[in-house]
Amino acid sequence: MGFGTILKNGTKTISAVENAISSGYRLIDSAEAYGNEVDVGDGIQRGVIENRLDRSDIFVTSKVWNDHHGYRKTIQAFETSLAKLRVGYLDLYLIHWPANKKWHKDWRELNDSTWLALEDLYRAGEVRAIGVSNFSKEQLAALIEDNDIKPMVNQLEYHPGFAQKEAAKYSQDNDVLVEAWRPFGGPDSGILNNPVITQLADKYGCSPSQVVLRWLLQQKILPLARSSNPEHMLDNLDIFDFELDRDDMLQISTLPSDDGTHFDPETYHS
Ligand SMILES: NC(=O)c1ccc[n+]([C@@H]2O[C@H](COP(=O)([O-])OP(=O)(O)OC[C@H]3O[C@@H](n4cnc5c(N)ncnc54)[C@H](OP(=O)(O)O)[C@@H]3O)[C@@H](O)[C@H]2O)c1
């Protein structure tokens, strides 16, 4: 289980990250684009001290944003994230979104040059693992074909009503760990009130969020859940003592598409 950090800048972010570590989370998912790496770093520092942990007990992720694609800018973005987080090294660094065909004639070369920066940071020991986020099957295949080191992670939007099965399957078939961002579809998705999910929660004697997180884990997908509520934080970690059966897994997987806004990696631009 990972802890997501799309949280407003300020003390709430610091205390959410600190509380998450005190609740038992060890994976903290951040990004330069969230604009709160200094506060996330403060929260990590407090959580480590409060719980008498070492830096090495915490797994810290960050991501290079779209306007820093390319070798030189990526190295600079990495150094800036590291300086803001103040954690000495990163455990995982990701390309947040791919350059795509719609916006970049040279999308493949651009992704390769960003990736080369990640490879060099990895070889230099500044980051323990490197990967991508929001890469489609085609974009990931191109990156794997062109480069020496294969991405270790592909972080995808993946939740009931929006499961990116093709990209996830291709990643897993190539031993690339899939992490699920926005596992609950964000604050207003209604997933946690969906009758299929709430009925399953009654059946298993657990909460709707636990049903969703089990559905992800049982597909060997690592969920990144965010919460500012300490009870929810604990609830989301307490998912290792039950198992959804096959029919129930299928029921969730075949829920109709939600009507949320989703960004397509082949066209997304920011
Ligand atoms: N790679 C990417 O492009 C990308 C994009 C978006 C997000 N992400 C990552 O994914 C993380 C998670 O996504 P997200 O933050 O958008 O949304 P999310 O985790 O799907 O949903 C967060 C919402 O769920 C609620 N919630 C959490 N646990 C709950 C529980 N047990 N019971 C009831 N409600 C609960 C939270 O409310 P409370 O605070 O009240 O608990 C909050 O409103 C992000 O924080 C970020 O790290 C990555």
In angstroms, how far apart are the furthest CA atoms of the chain? 53
Task: State residue 92's pLDDT score.
Answer: 98
Q: Is the CB of 108 under 6 A from ligand 1?
A: no
* Residue 206 belongs to some domain of the structure: yes
Spatial neighbors of 227 by CB under 8 A, at least 6 apart, are 16, 20, 233, 236
Report the length, in residues, of the chain.
270
* Residue 27 belongs to some domain of the structure: yes
In the predicted model, is pLDDT for residue 258 greater than 90? no
- Six-digit token string for 196: 């299929």
What is the pLDDT confidence band of residue 122, given thresholds at 50, 70 and 90?
Answer: very high
The b-or-e profile of 31-58 (16+ CB within 10 A means b, else e) is bbbbebbebbbbbbbbbbeeeeeeeeeb
Q: Is the CB of 188 under 6 A from ligand 1?
A: no
In the predicted model, is pLDDT for residue 242 greater than 90? yes
Domain limits for position 116: 2-253
In the predicted model, is pLDDT for residue 257 greater than 80? yes
* Residue 46 belongs to some domain of the structure: yes
In the predicted model, is pLDDT for residue 8 greater than 90? no
* Residue 152 belongs to some domain of the structure: yes
* Residue 263 belongs to some domain of the structure: no
Q: Which ligand 1 atom minimizes the distance to the CA of 181?
A: 10
* Residue 207 belongs to some domain of the structure: yes
Q: How do strand 162-163 and strand 153-159 relate by DSSP bridges? A: antiparallel
Residues contributing to the annotated binding site for substrate: 96
* Residue 269 belongs to some domain of the structure: no
Domain count, the chain: 1
Active site residues per annotation: 34
Residues contributing to the annotated binding site: 96
Question: Would you list the DSSP string of 182-240?
Answer: STT-STTS-GGG-HHHHHHHHHHTS-HHHHHHHHHHTTTEEEEE--S-HHHHHHHH--S
* Residue 80 belongs to some domain of the structure: yes
- Six-digit token string for 243: 């198992």
Other beta carbons within 10 angstroms of residue 11's beta carbon come to 11
In the predicted model, is pLDDT for residue 72 greater than 90? yes
Supply the CATH number for residue 92's domain. Answer: 3.20.20.100
In whole numbers, what is the pLDDT of the chain averaged over residues? 96
What is the pLDDT confidence band of residue 205, given thresholds at 50, 70 and 90?
Answer: very high
Task: State residue 17's pLDDT score.
Answer: 98
In the predicted model, is pLDDT for residue 9 greater than 80? no
Q: Are 197 and 211 in contact (CB under 8 A)?
A: yes
Q: What is the mean pLDDT of residues 187-214?
A: 96
